[in-house]
Amino acid sequence: MIRYCLGGLEKLLGTLAALLLFALMALVLVNVTLRYVFQAGFIGAEDLGIWLNLALISVAAPLSLTGPLSMRFDVGRRLLGKNAGAAVDILADAISMVAALALIGGAAATIGMLGGTSPTLGLPEWVRYAFVTTGGGLLLLMLGLRRLSEGRAAGLGLSLALGLALQFAAARFDLGGDWPPSLWLALMAGLGLICAAPLAHAFLAAASLARLFGSSLPEPALVAAAVNGMSKFLLLAIPFFLLAGGLLTASGAADRLVRFAATLVGHRRAGLAQTVLLTSVIFSGASGSSVANAAFGAATFQPQLVRNGYPPAQAGAIIAAASVLDNVIPPSIAFLLLAAATNLSVGSLLSGGFVAGGLMALCLAVAIHLSVRARPEGRPATAAERGRAALSALPAFGLGIIVVVGIRFGVVTTTEAAALAAGYTLCLALGARLDRRHLLASFRQTATEAGAIGLLIGSAGPFAFLLAVDDVGNLIAGAVHSFGSSPWLVLLMANLVLLLAGLVLDIGAAILLLGPILLPVATAAGIDPIHFGVILVVNLMIHGLTPPLGMLIFVVSGVTGVQAAQLFRAVLPYLFALLVALLILSLATLMF
């Protein structure tokens, strides 16, 4: 009965999230059409889009409690063994419950205090916070049903009791101390990660519990900071780009890209591996998501690589390393996050991403050529075969043209270009006669991914607020400047800070937290802000391959069944190649 209820709730939330995503896409596309065709539009389209995105995140985020989208650091959990692991699981669930209770309590308190209506929508302002309250309640409900379905009722009761006790203590006591609240927040977030709590939940729970140590951020302010972090029209591009990548795969257009890449390099030494790399370069112009490409590549290429003599670990490592390019070559969700956090030009960042992505692909191609001993897997394709493959892949290339030309030349905004890309791939899927079941599955998967990313963005808001209150930005800036103020020293220290932070922070969280701190330091040293922004993203994206978090490694491991430890060892040559690319980019920035 409980399993039936859980499955029904997941299906209901998934369908509702898919409908919200469709409504969001339709809203932006209609507004673009009205503006460019009829020189008209309607007031409040941006605000309505932001509100719908908040609703989407609130409904979809509870669906990502498990799997790669939960962004759990489970290495510590595995090392502790079965007996200790059960206690850690209870603590991890308690952290999720603290996060959910903070969202419910903070949003409910805000609703009680907030008055007025939206000037563009005419709706009460409290509606936005009602979405957050609903999301927190759904998170509690989903977690409870999942644990009951697993036969862990006792553990669930202990988690709930511990979560309530922690919330009560945070609201009633102030332990103070000499340490700044942001340091306590970081320590508690780190504890949450070690316990394998979802990353966004660890951030939110730590921000709530930091009140125990003198935090100036009560729950209503915590929720307000999270909502403000998610309330940017630019961030609507994220679900649209994810949807474009999903529909491109579902429509079969992605497979045609693979065949085209194979005709170009498939006959060379390590040709199948080079095809994986070239497909990632081409597919980057569609998905903008390294996680999406890692999952696609692992499912598509791993069996073929193994059948052609590649060791399973090496095959998975190549797929993971090539997937790094998706968040560097435009469109890039990482660049969208950086632009939202720092107000840098999206178009300029994407232009820099082309150069950086090309260099990284070249370094990876050399590493693959040197490390793979497999013989060529096929004969060279004829000019006619290449022509037919290019013609077949032409619809997929149209997606890249829409995105890059639209953004770079200012024809449409980034969000509008992403919506046009999603609409275009929807047309491709309909042209391929994709049935409603597969279309709904693509929308549901995209909505779930967007909900997880959106909650992470929101959870970084309170963290960034406390870092600003405790003047951590100036502390880091001072530490960097203490080694000198010349551009090369500042860039060296910034790269070291990013390399260290990337080991313990999710890529998106690191961009949102460190981008606003390090960019002014680099600019003050005379480093071009766009160049530095590109280096920052490249540096952090490399950590998709490094332990202990290594998101791309864990995604490939989950799809292929190869142990993550084996993949971490096998990826070392390609990790070295990407670090060489980072070094070249840094030197080029200093020279030009």
The confidence band for 302, taking pLDDT boundaries of 50, 70 and 90, is confident
With a cut of 60, say whether residue 286 has pLDDT above it. no
The confidence band for 549, taking pLDDT boundaries of 50, 70 and 90, is low
Instruction: Identify the domain boundary among 197, 231, 265.
Output: 231
3-state secondary structure of 319: helix
Residues 426 and 550 in one domain: yes
Tokens 């693959």 locate to 368
Residues 218 and 266 in one domain: no
**What is the spatial distance between Cα 511 and Cα 192, in angstroms, rounded to a whole number?**
20
Residues 92 and 114 in one domain: yes
Average pLDDT score over residue span 463-473? 74
Q: What are phi and psi of 378, to 5 degrees?
A: -165, 175
Range of the domain at 22: 2-231
3-state DSSP: the chain helix, strand, coil percent, rounded to 5?
80, 0, 20
Average pLDDT score over residue span 458-481? 74
Quick: pLDDT tens for 116-131: 788 888 888 888 899 9
**What is the spatial distance between Cα 70 and Cα 88, in angstroms, rounded to a whole number?**
16
Residues 428 and 539 in one domain: yes
**What is the spatial distance between Cα 280 and Cα 258, in angstroms, rounded to a whole number?**
9
Total domains in the fold of the chain: 2
Residues 298 and 391 in one domain: yes
- pLDDT, residue 77, reads 65
* AA identity, residue 226: A
If residue 276 lies in a helix (H) or strand (E), which one and from where to where? helix 271-287
Residues 481 and 571 in one domain: yes
Residues 156 and 278 in one domain: no
The pTM assigned to this predicted structure is: 0.79
- pLDDT, residue 536, reads 93
List Cβ<8 Å contacts ≥24 apart for 17-20: 17/56, 17/59, 17/60, 17/63, 17/443, 17/444, 17/447, 17/448, 17/451, 18/440, 18/443, 18/444, 18/446, 18/447, 20/52, 20/55, 20/56, 20/59, 20/60, 20/447
Instruction: Identify the domain boundary among 231, 252, 286.
Output: 231
Q: How far is CA 149 from the centre of its chain?
A: 29
Average pLDDT score over residue span 315-333? 85
Q: Do residues 250 and 434 make contact, with C-beta atoms less than 8 angstroms apart? A: yes
